[in-house]
A and B are shown apart, each in its own frame.
Chain A
Amino acid sequence: MWADAGLVAGKDLRIELRSRVALNQVLPFSFVVLVLFAFALDPDRGVLDRAAPGLFWVAVLLTSLLATQRSFAIEAADGNTDALRMSGLDPAGLFLGKAAAVAAQLLALEVLLLIGVAFLYGIALHSFGLLALTCVLATLGLAGAGTVYGVMAFGLRVRETLLPLLILPVLAPVLLAATRSFEAALGGVPRECIGWLGLLAAFAALYAVVGLFGFGPLLEES
């Protein structure tokens, strides 16, 4: 399973390195979202710095949607679905590999977005350990759930429009918990993070279990 996961993650990341979709399209999209929020919530009114954690995670959520769609778009093209099924790769390894590749891309994008938030919204970043832990746990949840719903919508002709409809409501707990955890960390009350971090960890664990056992049957039926 781990060898298969490494193989699939390596393949997805190699494709990303060559195509640079995340770098040239997803990252600029995320920055545009941040800038539009800044326009909508005038920085001079003091709303922006209070809303910054939520806006950051909304941007990450939309980014994760694009990363998930991209992850499955490369499998849907040119009959690769059949090749993936025929490969005999362990479905659990497939899930882990695809989720790991999405998570790696998301984490890299989050670092850049966080710098963007600090610069655009004038937020002073501190409690880096808690921020990093929140990012890691939330990213695992986003990647896990994204990969489960991505394969669910995989074989459908309407997958591009169906996936956001399926996944965005499901990711609401991640948005809430990550935002609250960021608020607590940036607000200097790290104790309040603990509960939200627990929720993020539980969400990530739940979708890891669902993905490990459900990815194979979902891929067969897609």
Chain B
Amino acid sequence: MSLAVHLRSAVCLLGRFPALAGVDLDVRAGEVVLLAGPNGAGKTTLLRACAGLVPVVDGTAIVLGHDLRVDRRSIRRQLGLVGHATSLYDDMSVVDNVRFTVRARGGFTGAVEPALERLGLSGRLRNVAVSRLSAGQRRRCTLAGLVAVDAELWLLDEPHAGLDAEGRDLVDQLVGDARARGRTVIMASHDLERASAVASRQVTIEAGTARRRPSSPDRPSETPAPAPEVSGVG
């Protein structure tokens, strides 16, 4: 199976601080990888680096066949990122926000209504301005955009945060469904018990580097990763 993400000695700087100090990480297409680690370990930076939002200044960084050190912009339409912020326009309605997300990504606007329905936003909340939503409902709205776009690689930073029990279960279902459709998911979470239940494997990030946890007997063992095919746009 091909690699969705291939990082070797990847270094990212936030100012002069090496937020990633030589990370090695391989994620196969269709895998769900959980990033664990303490606050400030570099999980968010790793996700943002994979999204091309933080430049990789040293090492190798290839995501979905694109060399991020050559071009970190052209990959973005193939990715879905849910970060700490909900990335919504307060003065636009739920449906307008999701529709804008989909249209901006060049996606199929017919996927908007099913996504709203899936996230429980199709009823009275559909036309409500986002500024009137609760934190959990805002989170659902962001997730609706992710589902409607259905990107090839999902990058989720604390996806369970701010959600009620039903919402957290829904996130787990969405991740499971994405995996079933062959999507690749990398998620950072402190809710390890819940997140590890849906993840194929766990990678611990410590002080800007990745420490791989030995495979458990009931999970597929890790084999040396094949070299990825690289396409860079110079």
Contact = CB atoms under 8 A, between A and B. Distances in A.
B85 interface: yes
Contact of B103 (A7, A15, A74, A85): A7
Given A86-B51, A86-B53, A79 B92 contact: no
Contacts of B76: 85-88
Classify the interface of chain B: helix, strand, loop or mixed. loop
A86 B90 CA distance: 19
A7 B96 contact: no
Interface string B97-117: 000110111100000000000
A19 B91 contact: yes
Given A15-B92, A74-B91, A88 B104 contact: yes
B87 interface: yes
Nearest to A85: B53
A17 to B, nearest CB: 9
A79 B88 CA distance: 8
Interface in A69-92: 74, 77-80, 82-83, 85-89
B83 interface: yes
A50 interface: no
Nearest to B85: A79
Contacts of A86: 51, 53, 76, 79, 81
Contact of A78 (B51, B53, B87, B104): B87
Contact of B104 (A77, A79, A87, A220): A87
A126 interface: no
A18 interface: yes
Interface string A5-24: 00100010011001100000
A4 B187 CA distance: 30
**Chain A contact residues, majority secondary structure:** helix
Interface in A19-76: 19, 74
Contacts of B100: 7, 11
A220 B90 CA distance: 23
- Interface range on chain A (Cβ under 8 Å from partner): 20 to 34
A83 B80 CA distance: 10
Contacts of B90: 74, 77-78
A74 B88 CA distance: 9
B27 to A, nearest CB: 19
Nearest to B51: A86
A114 B88 CA distance: 36
A15 B104 contact: no
Contacts of B83: 79, 82
Contacts of B86: 78-79
A11 B77 CA distance: 19
A88 B89 contact: no
A30 B67 CA distance: 50
A48 B83 CA distance: 54
Given A7-B103, A87-B76, A82 B92 contact: no
Contacts of B81: 82, 86
A86 to B, nearest CB: 5
B92 A88 contact: no
Given A82-B81, A88-B77, A15 B53 contact: no
Residue among A7, A88, A220 having the largest count of chain B Cβ atoms under 10 Å: A88
B73 interface: yes
B98 to A, nearest CB: 12
A14 B92 CA distance: 7
A169 B88 CA distance: 34
B84 interface: yes
Given A14-B96, A78-B85, A79-B86, A88 B106 contact: yes
B53 A18 contact: no
Given A79-B84, A85-B53, 10 more contacts: A7-B104, A11-B89, A18-B129, A19-B91, A77-B90, A78-B87, A83-B101, A86-B51, A86-B79, A88-B73
20 contacts: A4-B104, A7-B103, A14-B96, A15-B91, A74-B89, A74-B91, A78-B85, A78-B88, A79-B83, A79-B86, A79-B87, A80-B89, A82-B85, A85-B53, A86-B81, A87-B101, A87-B105, A88-B77, A88-B104, A216-B73
